[in-house]
Amino acid sequence: MTILRVENVTKRFGGLVAVDDASLSVTPGSITGLIGPNGAGKTTLFTVISGFAAPTTGRVLFEERDITRVEAHERARMGIARTFQIVQPFATLSVVENIAVGAFLRHAARADALEEARRVAAEVGLTPMLDQPAKALTVAGRKRLELARALATGPRLLLLDEVLAGLNPSEIRDMIPVIRAIRARGVTILIVEHVMQAVMSLCDDIYVLAQGKLIAQGPPARIARDPHVVEAYLGHGAAQRLQAKAGQIGEAAHAERA
């Protein structure tokens, strides 16, 4: 059973093949990671999945329904929400109004939408900033706002585009439990991410994209040891470093849960 399935997606820009015959599937209730070096085509694949670009060939299925030609706003209605890597706040609106735009998707009345927005704001830790203009938020605040707006649309599948990029280590530490809590509520998450430690500790399943092609798939521990990944993505000599780190994070995560 899968909630999202990408079948043989290829995306060409003129002569450039950004994504080459990529297939992946996301299990309901999981946090699935999509990683890869810069220019690997992660963002392009993400754009195709979220409906902001059409694939040249291939299909995207959501809950076994072909959504390849479904427009972005329709996908949101069906239950797919996305965030943006470069945060896109509605700058002149307040935080709560920003989130309410998302909440209006399932709540027609303003009072209901605002109530839902406040509830979601609490979930991501934005309650103290509710009435601030969005442009006054810090980078970390804006990342949370991205997350909150997407959540407010009531998604079953949440697509996160580098929500941790640009955050400092302590901000990342604060964000990770927020993402876990969203999953615990039953929202499936597909996360495109650069921040390796975070991906390793968050994800149940990871896909690795390099030069447009999927080169590996599996649980974090196996991905970290996969020689293809080490070669293509991390460069020589990085495998040991990563293993060491994965070990540490594993312990840290353990300690946290305990």
Question: Length of the chain, please?
Answer: 258
Q: Which long-range contacts (CB under 8 A, 24 or more apart) does 125-128 make?
A: 125/174, 125/178, 126/95, 126/99
Give the separation between CA 121 and CA 147, rounded to whole angstroms.
9
Minimum gap (Å) between residue 36 Cβ and another protein: 22
User: Would you give the binding string for another protein spanning residues 75-104, x where CB under 8 A is met?
Assistant: -xx---xxxx---xxxxxxx--x--xxx-x
Minimum gap (Å) between residue 226 Cβ and another protein: 33
| 68: contact with another protein by CB under 8 A | yes
| 71: contact with another protein by CB under 8 A | yes
C-beta of 93 vs 215, nearer to another protein: 93
| 66: contact with another protein by CB under 8 A | no
DSSP string, 138-180: -HHHHHHHHHHHHHHT--SEEEEESSSTT--HHHHHHHHHHHH
| 136: contact with another protein by CB under 8 A | no
| 130: contact with another protein by CB under 8 A | no
| 212: contact with another protein by CB under 8 A | no
128 CB neighbour count, 10 Å cutoff: 10
Q: Tokens standing for 179?
A: 């993402």
Residue from 39, 57, 64, 110 in contact with another protein (CB under 8 A)? 110
Chain positions contacting another protein, by CB under 8 A: 50-54, 68-74, 76-77, 81-84, 88-94, 97, 100-102, 104-105, 108, 110, 113, 149-150, 152-153
